[in-house]
Amino acid sequence: MRNEAQTRRDLIDPAIFDRGWTNDLIKVEITPGGTDIVNGKPVRRKGRSDYLLCLPSPKGGAPMPVAILEAKKEGSHASLGLHQALTYAKRFNVSFAYSSNGELFCEYAEDTKLISDPKPLSEFPTPADLHDRFENIRKLDLENSEAQAVFARYKGGESTRYYFQDAAIRAVIEKIAHGDNRALLCLATGTGKTFVAKQLLYKFAQAKQVKKALFLVDRDELRTQAITHLQSVFGDDAREVTTSSPNLNARVLIASYQTLNIRNEDSEPQFWRENFPPNTFSHIIIDECHRSAWNKWSIVLTDNPNAVQIGLTATPRRFKKMDETEDGKITAHNVQYFGEPVYEYSISQGQEDGYLAACEVIHRFVDLDAVTITKEEIKERSSHYIGSREKPKDDDLDDEYQAQKYEVKLLLDDRIDAMCQDFFDLLIQNGGAHQKTIIFCAGDNHALMVSNRLNNLYNQWCKLNGTTPKEFYAFRCTAKADADAKTTIPELKGSNESHFIACTVELLSTGVDIPNLKNVVFFKYVKSPISFYQMVGRGTRTGEPRGSKMMFRIFDYTNATRLFGEDFISAKPGESKDKTSSGEPPEKRKIIQIDKHEFTIEVQDNGCSILCDEDGKEVLVPYEEYKQRLAEKISETLNSIDELRQTWIVSSVRKDFLNQLPGGEGAVRLVRKLEDEEECDLYDIIAQLGFGAAPKSREERSGAFKLWHKSWLRQFPEPARKVLLGIAGQFAQGGIEELETKHLFDAKEVKKYGGLKVLLNIPNYQPSQIIEETKLRLLA
C-alpha cells in the first residue's frame, strides 16, 4: 500500500498529466506554518497544499489558479481530503476542490454546490473542462481584454508574493473585469497591503489599462513606504506629490490627504482643484480607507467617477445608520460604497498560516475600575490641577468619575503606580526587562507619567541586580511629546540598546512597522474595534529576520480584547461622540490629579487566553479551556500512546492528525511555548495532553536511545550503529522533522561514519525501514 508521497508520484501525477495537467499548470504553494526557535535560531516549518491547478493564459502570461487537489494515501476514502481542500479553496479564491486516493477522486464545486460520488481518476476534468465551467461560474470571459491583467506576471516573479496576496489581487481584477470599477480588500495588518497595491497597478499596467494612477495615504510613514514599493516597479514614473511639485507628468502618483489639501478643516481643496481636474486618474487606490471616513477625501472619488477605485483596509467599517447625503454615502460607509470585500484575510488566518505571530492574552483587572469616584471623594483627598498645586474648584469637577475617565479627566497616581508595578513584574517574569513594548495610554499626561514610573522601576531593578541601565528605557511617544518622534520611533524599531517601552496614545497605532515588538499593553479604555485591531496589529509581525518571532503578548488591563471578533459598527456621521474615548480631554475642563497614598489598589490576575478562529470569527479562548479542547480531540482521535507513536513517525499521517486538532499544528506549538517546553518534540506535548505522559526533551530522548536500545543496535555493524546514533543526535537538534529532511545524511555526525551508504549495505533491511524503527524507538 503506497503512502501519500508514493500515491502522488505513482498514481495521481501520471493520471492528471494524461488529462492535460502539465507541470506548468500545477503549482505547490508553500506556507511558513509557524516558526520554532531551536538553539536560539529561527527554524521555519512548512505547510503545503498538494496541488494548485491552474488554467493556461490565452496569450502566454502566467497561469491562473482554478482548483485545489488534496492527495491522500492509497486505500483512503477518496473524499478524505475534501474538507481540507474546501478550506484551501476559499483562501486561494478558486472555484473547485478535489480529493483523491490515487484511484478515485471526489469534487466540490461552486456550480454544483455538492460533493460528488467517487469517480475514476481517468475521468478527472481537463483544463478545458474547468476553463468553461469557471467562465460560467464567475460570468467572466477570460479572452476579454479586461481580464488580461489576471494573467500578467508578477514584478519580481511568483516567489515574491504570498498565496493570499495572489488570491486578493485576482479577486479585485475579476470584479473590475465584470465592469464594476469599485472593489474593497480587507487584509489584516502586517499582511502586505502596499505590496498588493503595487502589484495590482503593475498588472493593470501590463494589460495596458493604466493612464494615470493615484495611491492615496493619510500618514507620512505610509507615503514613504509606498514610494519605495512603487518606484521598485515603475521607477521614476512613480513620484511623490508635494505642495511644491505635483509631478503631473508621472504615471503613478503617491500622495497624502494633507498634501492634496483635502483635509476636513480646509473649506476648499485649492491645491487639488488647481492641479487635478476631473477624470485625471484611471486608477485610484486608497490605503487604510476606513480611517478618514469623516474627512473630504471623497472628492478624489467623485472627481474621477470613471476611475477604477480600490479601497484597502484591515477593518471594513459598517454603520448603524446611513447618512443620506451623497458625500456621506461615499465617505462614511466602505461597504456601501465599495461593496462587500472581494477578499478577506484575518489575523487568525495569518497566524494559522504562520505569516503573522501567534497571540497570547494576559488579562489583568484593576479593582478601583469597578467603582465610581464622586466629587465629594475627590474633595476629601489630596487633589490639584495637573501642572499646579491649586486645589480644584467645584465647577471644574464632574459629579462622578468612572473607569473610562480615569487618566483622561482624572489622573490617579496610585492607579498608575499599581499598574506600572504589576506590568513591570510581569515583564520580568515573561522574558525579562528588555523587550520591545508599546503601552497605549489614555492621554499625553498619562503617557508621560507611565514612562516616568517605568523608568524608576527599571533603574531600581538594575541596581538590585547589579546591572547597568540602558538609555531611554521607557519614553513618551505621542504627538505632543518633547522628543522628536522621527528620532524615537526608529530607535524603538531598530536599537537593541535603548528605547524599549514606548508610551503612546494614538501615534503608534497605525503606519509604524515594528517587526520585533514583543508586547502590546492596554492601559487605556478602547471603544472602537477599528482602533483596537490597528493597535493589536503592531504586534503581529513575525520579526526581523522574518520568522524569528513566533508569538507576542497582549497585557490587557482594560478589557480591550473583548473587541476581538466584534463587527466594525459605528454611529453615522454627525452623531455625537464622547471625546474621552479618543484620549483627548473635553474642552473647558481642567484635568484633576489625585496624589499618591489616597487609594489602596490591587491589580488582579484574570488568567490568559489564546486567540482562535471559530467559524471564521476571532474569539478568545481561556488557556486552560484551550488545552482541554486539544486534549479531548486527541483522545477522540487516538486510542493509545502506542497509536500516537505509529501516527507520529509517518510525516503525512502526522500532519493529517495535527490538522484535525483545534487550531491545528500551531495550537500545539503555542502550548509548547507557553508551557516552557520548547526543548521537547511536539510528540511529547501531545502525549502529555492526551495521555498524561511526562514530557521528555529531545536531548533526553536522544541520550536515552543509546542506553534503552543496546540490544537492537548490536545487530548492526559498528559503522551503522554510529550512523544511527548520529541520526539520534539530529533528533536532539530539531525533533522528528529533522529525520525527514533530504539533508539528513549530510549532517556532520551522520556523514563522517558513511551515512546512507552504510545503511544501504545492511542485508535484509531498507534504509527507510531502519529510519522508521529509529523514530519509533526514540519516542518509546
φ and ψ of 506, to 5 deg: -130, -20
At residue 58, the pLDDT reads 85
Q: Which helix (H) or strand (E) segment is 311 a member of?
A: strand 308-313
Same domain, 467 and 428: yes
Residue 267 binned pLDDT confidence (cut-offs 50, 70, 90): low
Q: Choose one of 312, 345, 378: the last residue of a domain.
A: 345
Would you say residue 581 lies in a domain?
Answer: no
At residue 328, the pLDDT reads 43
Strand intervals (E) in 18-92: 26-27, 30-31, 35-38, 41-44, 47-48, 51-55, 64-71
At residue 42, the pLDDT reads 37
Residue 486: exposed, middle, or buried by beta-carbon count in 10 A (0-12, 13-18, 19+)? exposed
Strand intervals (E) in 46-162: 47-48, 51-55, 64-71, 96-100, 104-109, 119-120
Amino acid letter for position 601: I
All cell numbers assigned to 391: 486645589
Contact assessment for residue 555 and residue 501, using Cβ atoms and an 8 Å cutoff: no
Same domain, 733 and 644: no
348-359 average pLDDT score: 83
Domain residue limits at 10? 4-138
Other CB atoms within 10 Å distance of the CB of residue 159: 8
Query: In 3-state terms, what secondary structure has residue 406?
Result: strand
Q: What whole-number distance in Å separates Cα of residue 421 and Cα of residue 502?
A: 16
Q: What whole-number distance in Å separates Cα of residue 400 and Cα of residue 410?
A: 10
φ and ψ of 539, to 5 deg: -100, -5
Strand partners, 613: 618
Number of domains in the chain: 5
All cell numbers assigned to 748: 556532520
At residue 33, the pLDDT reads 62
At residue 724, the pLDDT reads 86
All cell numbers assigned to 466: 547589579
Q: What whole-number distance in Å separates Cα of residue 749 and Cα of residue 751?
A: 6
Listed in sequence order, the residues at least 6 apart from 680 whose beta carbon sits closer than 8 Å to its beta carbon are 672, 695, 696, 697, 698
Same domain, 599 and 628: no
Residue 435 binned pLDDT confidence (cut-offs 50, 70, 90): very high
Q: What whole-number distance in Å separates Cα of residue 188 and Cα of residue 288?
A: 11
- Residue 153 per-residue DSSP state: P
Find the length of the chain.
780
Q: What whole-number distance in Å separates Cα of residue 728 and Cα of residue 773?
A: 12
Would you say residue 268 lies in a domain?
Answer: yes
Q: Which among 756, 770, 780, 779 is positioned nearest to 713, based on CA atoms?
A: 770
349-362 average pLDDT score: 85
pLDDT digit string, tens, across residues 702-717: 989 888 898 888 888 8
All cell numbers assigned to 395: 465647577
pLDDT digit string, tens, across residues 536-551: 988 888 888 776 787 8
Q: What is the largest CA-CA distance in the chain?
A: 96
At residue 244, the pLDDT reads 87
Would you say residue 583 lies in a domain?
Answer: no
At residue 578, the pLDDT reads 42
Same domain, 297 and 410: no
Would you say residue 311 lies in a domain?
Answer: yes
Residue 439: exposed, middle, or buried by beta-carbon count in 10 A (0-12, 13-18, 19+)? buried
- Which CATH number characterizes residue 156's domain? 3.40.50.300
Q: What whole-number distance in Å separates Cα of residue 284 and Cα of residue 564?
A: 31
Contact assessment for residue 188 and residue 212, using Cβ atoms and an 8 Å cutoff: no
Query: Rg (Cα) of the chain, in Å, rounded?
Result: 29
Strand partners, 186: 313, 344
Other CB atoms within 10 Å distance of the CB of residue 46: 11
Same domain, 191 and 330: yes
Higher pLDDT, 768 or 381: 381
pLDDT of 44 strictly over 70: no
Q: What whole-number distance in Å separates Cα of residue 337 and Cα of residue 181?
A: 11
pLDDT digit string, tens, across residues 579-603: 444 444 444 458 999 999 999 999 9
Residue 567 binned pLDDT confidence (cut-offs 50, 70, 90): low
| Cα end-to-end distance, the chain, whole Å | 26
Which own/partner contact pairs does 266-274 have at CB distance under 8 Å and 24+ positions apart? 266/296, 269/296, 269/299, 271/243, 271/246, 272/299, 272/300, 272/303
Would you say residue 242 lies in a domain?
Answer: yes
Q: What whole-number distance in Å separates Cα of residue 68 and Cα of residue 82?
A: 9
At residue 29, the pLDDT reads 80
- Which CATH number characterizes residue 107's domain? 3.90.1570.30
Same domain, 184 and 126: no
Angle at 359 between CA 197 and CA 617, to 5 degrees: 70
pLDDT digit string, tens, across residues 55-102: 999 877 899 999 999 999 899 999 998 988 998 899 999 999 999 999
pLDDT of 554 strictly over 80: yes
**Residue 40 falls in which region: left (phi positive, over 0), alpha (psi -120 to 50) or beta:** left
Contact assessment for residue 538 and residue 520, using Cβ atoms and an 8 Å cutoff: yes
Amino acid letter for position 388: S
At residue 322, the pLDDT reads 45
What is the pTM (predicted TM-score) of this model? 0.76
Same domain, 62 and 113: yes
Percent of the chain with pLDDT over 70: 89
Contact assessment for residue 296 and residue 266, using Cβ atoms and an 8 Å cutoff: yes
**Which of 199-203, 223-227, 581-585, 766-770 has maximum average pLDDT?**
199-203
Same domain, 705 and 632: no
Q: Choose one of 345, 378, 393: the last residue of a domain.
A: 345
Query: In 3-state terms, what secondary structure has residue 208?
Result: coil
pLDDT digit string, tens, across residues 112-150: 999 999 999 999 999 999 999 999 999 999 998 889 999
Same domain, 300 and 444: no
pLDDT of 755 strictly over 90: no
Contact assessment for residue 570 and residue 319, using Cβ atoms and an 8 Å cutoff: yes
Q: What whole-number distance in Å separates Cα of residue 4 and Cα of residue 148?
A: 37
HSE-CB for 538 with a 13 A CA cutoff: 30
CA distances from 484 to 218, 220, 445, 477 (A): 20, 15, 17, 8
HSE-CB for 182 with a 13 A CA cutoff: 14
At residue 574, the pLDDT reads 45
Same domain, 109 and 233: no
Would you say residue 554 lies in a domain?
Answer: yes
Q: What whole-number distance in Å separates Cα of residue 32 and Cα of residue 543?
A: 13
pLDDT digit string, tens, across residues 451-491: 999 999 999 999 999 999 999 999 999 877 655 666 788 88
Would you say residue 578 lies in a domain?
Answer: no
Ordered alpha helix ranges (H), 503-556: 529-536
Query: In 3-state terms, what secondary structure has residue 174?
Result: helix
All cell numbers assigned to 540: 503581529
CA distances from 24 to 99, 133, 595, 616, 715 (A): 21, 21, 72, 33, 48
Q: What whole-number distance in Å separates Cα of residue 434 and Cα of residue 445?
A: 24
Query: In 3-state terms, what secondary structure has residue 412?
Result: strand
Q: Choose one of 662, 691, 720: the last residue of a domain.
A: 691
At residue 49, the pLDDT reads 63
Q: What whole-number distance in Å separates Cα of residue 510 and Cα of residue 220?
A: 11
Q: Which among 340, 290, 337, 285 is positioned nearest to 307, based on CA atoms?
A: 285
Same domain, 341 and 355: no
Would you say residue 587 lies in a domain?
Answer: no
At residue 197, the pLDDT reads 95
187-213 average pLDDT score: 93
Mean residue pLDDT of the chain comes to: 86
**Residue 264 falls in which region: left (phi positive, over 0), alpha (psi -120 to 50) or beta:** alpha
At residue 645, the pLDDT reads 93
pLDDT of 319 strictly over 90: no
Q: Beta strands 410-412 and 437-440: pairing type? A: unpaired
At residue 611, the pLDDT reads 79
Residue 515 binned pLDDT confidence (cut-offs 50, 70, 90): confident
Same domain, 155 and 187: yes
